[in-house]
Amino acid sequence: MDLLILFISACITIVVVHALLNMCTRRRNRLPPGPTPWPIVGNLPHLGKTPHHSLAALVTQYGPLIHLRLGFVDVVVAGSASVAAQCLKTHDVNFASRPPNSGAKHIGYNYQDMVFAPYGPRWRRLRKLCLVHLLSTKALNDFRHIRQEEVAILTRTLASAGESTVQLDKLLNLCISNALSRVMLGRRVFTNGGGAGGDPKADEFKEMATELQVLAGEFNIGDFIPALDWLDLQGITKKMKNLHDRLDAFLNVILQEHKTTAANGGASGHDVDFLCMLLSLRDEADGDEAKLSDVEIKALLLNLFVAGTDTSFNTVEWAIAELIRHPQILKQAQKEMDIIVGRDRLVNELDISQLTFLQAIVKETFRLHPATPLSLPRIATENCEVNGYNIPKGSTLLVHVWAIARDPKIWIDPLKFKPGRFLPGGEKFNVDVKGNDFDLIPFGAGRRICAGMSLGVRTVQLLTATLVQAFDWELTNGLDPKNLNMEEAYGLALRRVAPLMVHPRPRLAPNVYISG
């Protein structure tokens, strides 16, 4: 009994001393406010099952810049547009690199990819390769026909569904993956699978991409308490290694096929694709940092495939779900389509600039359902001051994109789906998503802004426009749209808990679905 009392007294003493030391440290270093961390684990218990919701609540409670202690790591969360601007504009260079994390280590080829590579010459070269050869305005225009052809195939598939139930995200993934693979690899990776059912290989890849987004979004205890990393208490490291092996096998097949084709003199009948270009640079050297290895190529392909597909089809799925829940908005968008495009052909990318209401719908979807609710983590390379508080060197920065886009101080009725806010006369008419307006930064901002932003916007706009123009939408089993489950599943990308199950009803001239 005496030992039990002594043990309890010791625990209480430790907790009190820890709390006092934390308060003193916070005051001395002028750290941002935040909840008192627990001993050892810090504020990890405060994150809950949906960290973006929990952190948004903490921002509301403590202010637009909060400090957390996750294990032994200082973490600051920017929860307002003004604070995000200070971090990603005023102190952009200081926050241009990434902190160490298990996802980049075990899935991203040990930081050899572009997304998690440290800020420096190698990252700049990988990003330049993508921006010049794959994501520049010229490249996007050159490959416009590919995106439109794949969207036409999707439209025919949906039109042939009849009374069958369609799981929309699977077909969106198939469409986007094939559009991207034709540019990157010179061919479609997946088939249509004989109709609305899709392709089992595509389903497998989609599952791997989704698993990557989930695992990469996990707060792994080993990242914050290094002494416990080897124990893998959550089983996350084991899952990451297993996933890496499966993804690596997928990418190895692609790489070896291209090497064989190149060795045989190259493929005839089509332009050189992105991977051929990368392979041609593999042995070129402009200093040690400029060498492009097979591992870097696979890591880059992984970035492009996952980031280029998962985030886009999730956003389109959210857009269609919102339009089903708001039939008057859908009708208004279809009326605009009928006037600008008509019903005798499919909408194309060149039409988008005239479809102002469609653009507003896409912006509102990016706002209410940002592809990445919490920005990818950045690290402070030096001490700096943000919002009057000290940010210690080595702190991890998370920009709360989801909370900023729902801030009632800058948005009217922030929880409502109101595309009209982006129309002339609306509250945010001049706001764009390109990283210039910190009220709306679904792709981030600053040096580490998403390299694929322009492709992502074009893809989401074209797909959303086509699905709006070509179909009326009904939910399965006569479900009332008001009862549609809009619950979010947390991960690196913001997914729906329940996939959208629908009946597409063609509304254009029948020949449009045949000719595409």
What confidence score (pLDDT) does residue 335 get? 98
Residue-wise pLDDT tens digits, 375-426? 999 999 999 999 999 999 999 999 999 999 999 999 999 999 999 999 999 9
Any domain includes 15:
no
Any domain includes 272:
yes
Give the pLDDT band of residue 290 (cuts 50, 70, 90).
Answer: low
For the chain, how many structural domains are there in total? Answer: 1
Highest-scoring range by mean pLDDT, 7-16, 205-214, 291-300, 493-502: 493-502
* The two structure tokens encoding residue 63: 């202010």
Give the domain range for residue 234.
Answer: 31-515
Any domain includes 125:
yes
Residues annotated in a binding site for heme: 450
**23 pLDDT higher than 90:** no
Mean pLDDT of 308-317: 93
For the chain, the average pLDDT equals 89
Give the pLDDT band of residue 207 (cuts 50, 70, 90).
Answer: confident
Residues annotated in a binding site: 450
CA distance 483 to 312: 25
Mean pLDDT of 480-493: 92
Q: Which residue has the tokens 């003193």?
A: 24
What confidence score (pLDDT) does residue 306 get? 86
**101 pLDDT higher than 80:** yes
Q: CATH number of the domain at 373, please.
A: 1.10.630.10
**8 pLDDT higher than 60:** no
What confidence score (pLDDT) does residue 192 get? 66
| End-to-end Cα separation, the chain, in angstroms | 81
What confidence score (pLDDT) does residue 217 get? 85
What confidence score (pLDDT) does residue 200 get? 75
What confidence score (pLDDT) does residue 410 get? 95
Give the pLDDT band of residue 197 (cuts 50, 70, 90).
Answer: low
What confidence score (pLDDT) does residue 259 get? 84
**493 pLDDT higher than 60:** yes
Cα-Cα-Cα-Cα dihedral sign, residues 243, 196, 316, 490: negative
- Comparison of pLDDT for 283 and 287, the residue scoring more: 283
CA distance 263 to 363: 46
- Comparison of pLDDT for 300 and 288, the residue scoring more: 300
Q: What is the DSSP string of 162-223?
A: TTS-EEHHHHHHHHHHHHHHHHHHSS-SS--TTSTT--HHHHHHHHHHHHHHHHHHS--HHH
Helix ranges restricted to H, 326-452: 327-340, 356-368, 401-404
Cβ–Cβ < 8 Å for 46, 68: yes
Q: Work out the widest C-alpha separation in the chain, in whole angstroms.
A: 87
What confidence score (pLDDT) does residue 266 get? 60
Residue 399: closest CA among 59, 21, 49, 140: 59
Residue-wise pLDDT tens digits, 29-66? 799 999 999 999 999 999 999 999 999 999 999 999 99
Any domain includes 158:
yes
Any domain includes 94:
yes
Give the pLDDT band of residue 3 (cuts 50, 70, 90).
Answer: very low
What confidence score (pLDDT) does residue 16 get? 45
Which residues are registered as beta bridge partners of 474?
A: 503
Looking at residue 42, its amino acid is G
**104 pLDDT higher than 80:** yes
CA distance 33 to 436: 28
**74 pLDDT higher than 80:** yes
Give the pLDDT band of residue 210 (cuts 50, 70, 90).
Answer: confident
Cα 137 to Cα 182, 252, 303, 413, 444: the distances in Å are 18, 30, 20, 35, 19
What confidence score (pLDDT) does residue 204 get? 85
- Comparison of pLDDT for 288 and 466, the residue scoring more: 466
pLDDT > 70 fraction of the chain, expressed in percent and rounded: 89
Give the pLDDT band of residue 201 (cuts 50, 70, 90).
Answer: confident
Any domain includes 124:
yes
* The two structure tokens encoding residue 302: 């992984």
Q: 511: exposed, middle or buried (C-beta count within 10 Å: 0-12, 13-18, 19+)?
A: exposed
DSSP 52: H
E-only strand ranges, 18-108: 65-70, 73-78
Any domain includes 16:
no
Q: Which residues, 6 or more positions from 193, have their beta carbon under 8 angstroms from its beta carbon?
A: 174, 199, 200, 202
What confidence score (pLDDT) does residue 283 get? 63
Chain CA centroid to CA 384, Å: 28
Give the pLDDT band of residue 150 (cuts 50, 70, 90).
Answer: very high
Any domain includes 318:
yes
3-state SS record for 299-340: HHHHHHHHHHHHHHHHHHHHHHHHHHHCHHHHHHHHHHHHHH
Mean pLDDT of 154-182: 93
- Comparison of pLDDT for 280 and 238, the residue scoring more: 238
Cβ–Cβ < 8 Å for 205, 190: yes
Give the pLDDT band of residue 480 (cuts 50, 70, 90).
Answer: very high
What confidence score (pLDDT) does residue 514 get? 85
Residue-wise pLDDT tens digits, 256-275? 888 887 777 665 445 578 99
